[in-house]
Structure 1
Amino acid sequence: MIDFIVFIGVLFFLRKENIKKRTIALLLFAFNPAIILDGPIWGQVDLLYSFMLLTILFLISNPFLAGTIFSLAMLAKFQSIVIPPIVGIYFLLQIFRLKVLKSIMYFIFGFIIPWELIACFFSLKGSFLNVLKQAYLSAVGLWPEVSSNAANIWFYLLGISPTTKDSQIFFGEITFKQIGLLLFDLAVLYVVVYLCVSKSLDTIKLLKAAAAICFFFFMLPTQMHERYSFPVAVFLIIINLYDTKWLKNINWNNSIF
């Protein structure tokens, strides 16, 4: 938290500087030794959330590179699964509005290459199925509680003890887990509608939509850890580097976009 506050302070004092100096400041914090060291100690790779950011940044200008980076994002951290709605809606709108398939194919080819290389490597070792099971299936549901230290709605808005099992009934026959996933689905639908009704899609709008989904993912489902809020901070920092007036101009009563 202290590191994050200091970061915001640095960006504030550099707000009148050019993009080069602000980018250098961003990189210095991105490669902060304390944060980097935290990953190996806890067995986490949360710094690799930046792959999600880079996917969105290159989605329009270089879909092949965006696909490659997103493939690495999925291989590194399964939480990256939250941004495919952004990618999917963008390409669907491209088809409906421009009837362009080339960029989609570039993205798919870029995505396949890293996956094929990793699949071949572990297949030769005879452990590819174990990798899929342990990384993507067994990792889900290890902490079946309403909240794992996450400052989300379950504790701060609803006052439910974080240690409460999310399999307990919320009301009727619906469990805490089910209501959390339902709320998240509705939130993602809201973001999708926002993108669909936009007259044009640029990188800034895609970044804002991705930031919103990452925020909803942290706030609404159960079993969330505090570090799942990291992508939100990463997206917001970059958005404000591109659109410095965004937060000032938001009508908070009507929309977060």
Structure 2
Amino acid sequence: MGVWIVLCVLLNVLLSTSNGFGGDINDWVLWSKHLQTSGYAGLPANYPPVYVHWLWVIGCFASALHISIQPDLLLRLLVNAPDMLAQLGVLWVMARLLRAVSVTDCQWHALIALAACNPAIFMDGPLWGQVDMMFCLPLVIALVVLIEGCNLIAFFSLATLALLTKFQAICVAPVVLPLLWHQRRSRALWLGLLPAAALGALLMLPYILAGSAGSMFSATYLKAASLFPVATFNGFNLWFLLGLNTRPDGIFLLDYALTPQTWQILLTPKWLGIGLCALWDLMLLISSWRRNEPSLHWRNFYLAATGFFLFLPGMHERYLLPAVVIALAAAALDMRRHGVAAVLLSFGAAANMFLVSPPSGFLLPHLVAALLLGLALVVVLQDHLARLPWQRVLSLPGWFWGAAAAVIWLSALCIHVARVMPDRHGWLDVTTMPVAVTQGWGALQVNTSVSGERLSVNKQRYEHGFGTHAPSSIRISIPPGALAFDVQVGMDDESRGHAEFILMVDDDVVWQSGAMDTGDTPRSKLIDVKGKKTLELVVDPLGSNEGDHADWLQPRFRVVEH
């Protein structure tokens, strides 16, 4: 088990350094900074409390070390930490479940490996910066408790924790209801409502003290479903099959041009999807009601989570992940019945995320190739490997492997902290400094694009930067004690042209980005400005300047702190 824990942590650390994060990383930056400076009052977040509390911890961590919160590798490692711990928690749950069944060593390692190296979990977590594993862990433990009928007093607390981490945990409710009926005579189950209420109040306390509990509940639970009023959002489900990706969920399926009236709304993706999901869930509810069999309940749980993704409108590509985690737990109890489902759901969910919207800098194919190569080498060299003292290594105590995993993660954390926080050095935001500007169209905008919209490059949003239009020149006096200048550059998503970004120090060109088009990944540059006087940010239109909306993102000086 220890080897798989270390491997899982190592892969999380490695994949967190990829360039595969989407726009949500900028939400983590925005929310962490808000929590760091203003607390929970007026927080512009649409996530339930549990993960927001972790972002508050990140804000406190950054304040304690005087680190500027930026969409960098350090933040990516930190935002993924709870998800990595949740994945390790799932490994622990599966190992515990496997004790109760008879499996060979090969089967045991194969199943644990599927959870420790699961492509869907890695796609969702370290690669994209999502946090769906966080609610999957308490959800799966709650299902284990309910099905096994042991420690039932903890069920409602675990369910509350899952729901206050992400509301998608409601996807298993149709099968939970008949199991609650089967366990209705358990006094411990209903006594568990008291600690669940206390836990919910504790998690809501910061919002209550800040007077923002109502707005959080509205944004997170009441309005969240209307954030994406589409049939599907890059999810390979029923609506994607019908060619309705990102199409409105209120169109009449028999005639897209016709505004649905009266009975016709029943044949829109919204209401038809709700109806199909309700029918699917009703069949699963009746199935678990009539036969109180653990294996059947596990099957119905991951089928309920799968139906939630397949039929309901507004689904995203990663919303199949709960079904993957539930199927992994089910396979730990009965590999013969649920093993195939665990494998198919794992690779199906990963393929969905990768094929629909592959992130740039994608490392997982290289990782899979390396693992396959390693497997081939093991087969070829198995006679020689058998002579090595593998059993001694594998029999090392659990605390050793846990310490090794912790050392790997903490080492990565220290490396990333060292990169952004040299001794006695701090960062100065250039957008707060006076500048001299000339540009070809419009006026220089601070923290928005040149047309006044939110800064956005390659579909990633940024909070700080200059929005300009080529040709342009932004001249800045380098502050005393400045050591370096750091910036990211890119064409804003609203741009229709291309341009080149140029950095000049004391009238000498020190860096050129090369031609950049709309949709290109932002390019980063750190230059030495020690002892220099002036910095000039130049955008060359490279010919026509029509629609050349160019952004200087997160511009900052590294300065000596006195």
**TM-score scaled by length of structure 1:** 0.77
Of 116, 125, 141, which residue of structure 2 is paired with 1:54?
A: 141
Q: Distance in 1 between matches of 2:338 and 2:183?
A: 28
Give the 3-state SS of the residue equivalent to 2:249 in structure 1.
Answer: coil
On the 8 A contact 1:64/1:109 being kept in 2, the answer is: no
- Structure 1 residues 29 and 74: alpha-carbon distance in aligned structure 2, compared to 1, 3 A threshold: same
On the 8 A contact 1:56/1:206 being kept in 2, the answer is: no
What's the offset of the Cα at 1:112? 1.6
On the 8 A contact 2:142/2:158 being kept in 1, the answer is: yes
What's the offset of the Cα at 1:188? 0.6
For residues 182-206 of structure 1, give each alpha carbon's deviation from its aligned partner in whole angstroms, at most 9, with x where no partner exists. 00000110001101110x343x332
For residues 179-234 of structure 1, give each alpha carbon's deviation from its aligned partner in whole angstroms, at most 9, with x where no partner exists. 00000000110001101110x343x3322221111010000011111111111111
Q: Distance in 1 between matches of 2:235 and 2:280?
A: 18
Question: Which sections of structure 2, spanning at least 5 residues, go unmatched?
Answer: 1-10, 12-102, 255-263, 342-562
Q: Distance in 2 between matches of 1:19 and 1:115?
A: 39
On the 8 A contact 1:67/1:106 being kept in 2, the answer is: no
- Structure 1 residues 166 and 33: alpha-carbon distance in aligned structure 2, compared to 1, 3 A threshold: closer
User: For residues 101-120 of structure 1, what are the structure 2 equivalents within 5 Å?
Assistant: 101-120=186-205
Runs of 4+ in 1 over 6 A off after TM superposition: none
Q: What residue number does 2:246 align with?
A: 163
Q: Bigger relative contact order, structure 1 or 2, given CA contacts below 8 A and separation 6+?
A: 1
Q: Distance in 2 between matches of 1:135 and 1:193?
A: 31
Q: What residue number does 1:236 align with?
A: 327
Q: What residue number does 2:224 align with?
A: 139
- Structure 1 residues 190 and 33: alpha-carbon distance in aligned structure 2, compared to 1, 3 A threshold: closer
What's the offset of the Cα at 1:21? 4.4
Establish whether residue 217 from structure 1 lines up as the match of residue 308 from structure 2.
yes
- Range moving further from structure 2, 204-213 or 188-197: 204-213
On the 8 A contact 1:188/1:213 being kept in 2, the answer is: yes
Establish whether residue 64 from structure 1 lines up as the match of residue 153 from structure 2.
yes
Give the 3-state SS of the residue equivalent to 1:113 in structure 2.
Answer: helix
User: For residues 4-15 of structure 1, what are the structure 2 equivalents within 5 Å?
Assistant: none
Computed over aligned residues only, the root mean square deviation of the Cα atoms, in angstroms, reads 2.8
On the 8 A contact 1:170/1:179 being kept in 2, the answer is: no
Question: Which sections of structure 1, spanning at least 5 residues, go unmatched?
Answer: 4-14, 251-257
For residues 86-128 of structure 1, give each alpha carbon's deviation from its aligned partner in whole angstroms, at most 9, with x where no partner exists. 2221122333xxxx14133133234222201123332112111
Establish whether residue 173 from structure 1 lines up as the match of residue 173 from structure 2.
no
Q: Distance in 1 between matches of 2:107 and 2:339?
A: 19
Q: Distance in 1 between matches of 2:339 and 2:133?
A: 28
On the 8 A contact 2:154/2:189 being kept in 1, the answer is: no
Establish whether residue 152 from structure 1 lines up as the match of residue 237 from structure 2.
yes
Amino acid at match of 2:104: K
What's the offset of the Cα at 1:164? 1.7
More helix by share: 1
- Structure 1 residues 185 and 170: alpha-carbon distance in aligned structure 2, compared to 1, 3 A threshold: same
Amino acid at match of 1:142: L
Q: Distance in 2 between matches of 1:123 and 1:78?
A: 19
Q: Distance in 2 between matches of 1:34 and 1:144?
A: 24
Give the 3-state SS of the residue equivalent to 1:227 in structure 2.
Answer: coil
User: For residues 20-59 of structure 1, what are the structure 2 equivalents within 5 Å?
Assistant: 21=109, 25=113, 28-29=116-117, 36-38=125-127, 41=129, 44-48=130-134, 49-59=136-146
Q: What residue number does 1:189 align with?
A: 282
Report the identity percentage.
Answer: 22
Amino acid at match of 1:214: A
Q: What residue number does 1:80 align with?
A: 169
Give the 3-state SS of the residue equivalent to 1:170 in structure 2.
Answer: coil
More strand by share: 2
- Size of the aligned set, in residue pairs, is 226
On the 8 A contact 2:238/2:311 being kept in 1, the answer is: yes
Q: Distance in 2 between matches of 1:194 and 1:101?
A: 22
On the 8 A contact 1:57/1:207 being kept in 2, the answer is: no
For residues 53-105 of structure 1, give each alpha carbon's deviation from its aligned partner in whole angstroms, at most 9, with x where no partner exists. 1110112212222222111100111101122232221122333xxxx141331
Amino acid at match of 2:163: M
**TM-score scaled by length of structure 2:** 0.37
Q: Distance in 2 between matches of 1:166 and 1:121?
A: 36
- Structure 1 residues 91 and 103: alpha-carbon distance in aligned structure 2, compared to 1, 3 A threshold: farther
Amino acid at match of 1:85: P
Q: Distance in 1 between matches of 2:144 and 2:305?
A: 15
